Amino acid sequence: MICKSHHNTLTFSSITEITDEIWQQLGCEDNIYFHRDYLLSLETNNPQIEFSYIVLLNETEEAIAFSMLQIIDFDVDSIKNDLEKLLRKVTAVARKIRILPKEKPLKFLMSGNVFVSGEHGIFIRKGIDKNKTIKQLGKAIQHFANDNSDKEIAVFILKDFIKESLFITDELLDFNYYPIQVEPNMMLSLKEDWQTFDDYLAALKTKFRVKARKAFKQSSSIRIEDITQENIEELLPKMTALYKKVVSRADFTLGDFNLNTYRDFITRFNGSYILKAYCLDDKMVGFMSGIINNDSLDAHFVGIDYQYNRKYAVYQRMLYDYITIAIDKKLSVLNFARTASEIKSSVGATPQDLTVYIRHKKSITNKLLKLFLMNIQPTRFNQKYPFKKVVIANENNS
């Protein structure tokens, strides 16, 4: 279905409905996250999520912006983190006064990419007024929800915006969204003089260099092999089991990723999508995945058999392997994404703050929502500083 039901807005129920002309006008496909092949892979392999797409037009009906939407069922009772008691209390009260359905999952409408952290769900063409466009998007999302009232969407979310974007995205406050800071991306900037992994090691303080060498020694019996089109069918069941072990430890997740998507990724993005298996003898004990997007390597999902993790330093070795790949590919940035922030900081990553905007469809409920959102804070962690201090010459002495 193609619907042009509101001024300067097109909505699509499948990525295949968007015309070549629109993609050419947007000019967004040099970014893999806005490439139609990437989006189609997510859509076709994850039927548990309902995907839709909004294209915004200017006065001459040229495409100027794109947003991926996902409708997700979210079971509040599945939350297992420190906010559990607060969320359960708010949910109990909300259900008692009948502003939340009893024993039914909430339906979220998300603008953004549920599977990756960062600004990978909203694209605005260069040279376009971003503040005006975000307002236009806010209206389009409201119209989309009204046109799809049968889907019983309760909560709207727009994710994940870096600090430098907030002067634009704060336009959403006019639509009664509330901003909350969420777990940060952990980012490692790669130095130009790191030509090899040994150069990276040399930049570390002794304590962290010793830790890295210990991890390589512990993991020396692990065989690391590429996951390819030839072997992925055999390995997918093992990978899925390992992925579920990691997900089961997460505080909560908005959407389980179907690992069959990898089959498409390594076919469509040969050389840019990275999949590696970690094996002890004939047993897979882990896998890692990532995507090269322009000058960045973005770490995606991992799978770990935790009974082997400590003894063989499986996860620690994965982190160093991500760094090795990024250096070998001569990239500028390594995005380790969210979670496990402290261990990621121990290899040199630093936090990049992210903000999510959220609102409830009903005004009264939205005001109640604000009360508990005010109590949400990202999990604190002990930031490590593994690199030697760089001595900068004082220009005043020159």
Q: How many whole angstroms separate alpha carbon 88 and alpha carbon 55?
A: 37
> What is the structure's pLDDT at 395?
42
Please give the average per-residue pLDDT across 340-353, as a whole number.
95
3-state secondary structure of 171: helix
Residue 364: what pLDDT? 80
**pTM higher than 0.85:** yes
> Above 60 in pLDDT, residue 391?
no
* Residues 6 or more apart in contact with residue 307 via CB below 8 angstroms: none
**Token pair listed for 74:** 């979210």
Is residue 169 scored above 80 in pLDDT?
yes
Longest dimension (CA), the chain: 72
pLDDT of residue 365: 79
Alpha-carbon Rg for the chain in angstroms: 22
Both 139 and 225 in a single domain? no
**pLDDT level of residue 102 (50, 70, 90 thresholds):** low
Assess whether pLDDT exceeds 70 at residue 314: yes
- The better pLDDT of the pair 252, 43 is held by 43
Is residue 389 one of the residues assigned to a domain?
Answer: no
Same domain assignment for residues 167 and 208: no
Q: Looking at the structure, tell me whether residues 100 and 207 fall in a common domain.
A: no
Run of H or E including 70: strand 63-74
Residue 20 lies in a domain: yes
> So what's the pLDDT on residue 106?
75
* Tokens standing for residue 132: 């005006």
Q: Does residue 137 sit in the same domain as residue 273?
A: no
Determine the Cα–Cα distance for residues 71 and 35; give it in Å rounded to an integer.
Answer: 20
Please check whether residue 165 lies inside any domain of the structure.
yes
| Within-domain flag for 387 | no
**Would you say residue 254 lies in a domain?**
yes
Burial classification of residue 259, based on how many CB atoms lie within 10 Å of its CB (0-12 exposed, 13-18 middle, 19 or more buried) = buried
pLDDT-derived band at 284, boundaries 50, 70, 90: very high
Instruction: State which residues form the domain around 295.
Output: 191-331
Instruction: Evaluate whether residue 199 is within a structural domain.
Output: yes
- Point out the domain boundary residue: 297, 331, 365: 331
Structure confidence by residue, pLDDT tens digits, 219-268: 999 999 999 999 999 999 999 999 999 988 766 566 689 999 999 999 99
107, 101, 112: which is closest to 145 by C-alpha?
107
Same-domain pairing of 174 and 203: no
pLDDT surpassing 50 at residue 396? no
What pLDDT, on the 0 to 100 scale, is given for residue 183?
87
**pLDDT score for 62:** 95
Structural tokens at position 39: 């989006």
Paired tokens of 300: 């995606």
Q: Are residues 364 and 290 part of one domain?
A: no
Is residue 153 predicted with pLDDT exceeding 80? yes
Helix axes 232-247, 261-268, angle to 10 degrees: 120
pLDDT band at 82 (very low <50, low <70, confident <90, very high): very low
- Residue 150 or 325, more confident: 325
Cβ atoms < 10 Å from Cβ of 258: 17
Give the pLDDT mean for 343-355.
95
Give per-residue pLDDT as tens, 25-34.
999 999 999 9
List, in sequence order, every residue forming a beta bridge with 297; answer none if it has no partner: 292, 334
Claim to verify: residue 85 and residue 206 sit in the same structural domain:
no
Within-domain flag for 289: yes
φ/ψ (deg, to 5) at 59: -65, -25
Tell me the average pLDDT across 267-291: 95
pLDDT at 60 over 80: yes
Mean pLDDT value across the chain = 88
The CATH number that applies at residue 168 is 3.40.630.30
Please check whether residues 22 and 146 belong to one and the same domain.
yes
pLDDT band at 99 (very low <50, low <70, confident <90, very high): low
The number of folded domains in the chain is 2
User: What six digits make up the tokens of 367?
Assistant: 């005001």
pLDDT digits (tens, 9 = 90+) for 207-232: 999 999 999 999 999 999 999 999 99
Looking at residue 271, its pLDDT comes to 86
What was the pLDDT predicted at 339? 84
Q: How far apart are CA 391 and CA 308, in angstroms?
A: 41
Backbone angles phi, psi at 177, to 5 degrees: -80, 150
Considering the domain architecture, whether residues 175 and 131 belong to the same structural domain is answered as: yes
In a domain, 295, yes or no: yes
Same-domain status, 195 and 178: no
Q: Are residues 281 and 161 in the same domain?
A: no
* Same domain as 11, residue 133: yes
Q: For the residues 325-337, what does the mean pLDDT come to?
A: 97
Assess contact for 49 and 63: CB atoms under 8 A. Answer: no
